[in-house]
Structure 1
Amino acid sequence: KCSLEPCLSPIHIHYVAPSFWAWKGGESRLKALSGYVDHLLCILPFEVDVLRAHGLDATFVGHPILEDALNFHP
């Protein structure tokens, strides 16, 4: 993980947050995830609030397949 000081390791960004909401007791595993990633990019809007509540930085970026389906006009 990085701070504002010069970084010797890369920033770890995870695209598509793990499906913690589908695991039995999954939310309890989120705290450990903060040791491995600096930021999560979420494809489901409800994930952001849960991840932030567990101390993880997260941003909703949308779901590419859903966006394609919404823009499909045969």
Structure 2
Amino acid sequence: MTRTLLLLDGAMCIRRDGDPVAACGAAVEAFTQAPGRFRKGLVRQRAVELYASVPADQRESTDARELAELLAA
């Protein structure tokens, strides 16, 4: 779980550096690499926080939509 959290923190850094679409792609990669039992709790919360920080006009990108779909599942 620690590795996944670090990867999601890295995705948030990408977001803060001004590239929310790339951040969503990094979050998708981190989230899908995590074993199923780690895709809830704190890991899911971090991914939700990242998605919530994506501007509405960029949520239609492929990476943002994929992250939203993963979180909705």
TM-score in terms of structure 1 length: 0.30
Greater helix percent: which structure?
A: 2
Greater C-alpha Rg: 1
Greater strand percent: which structure?
A: 1
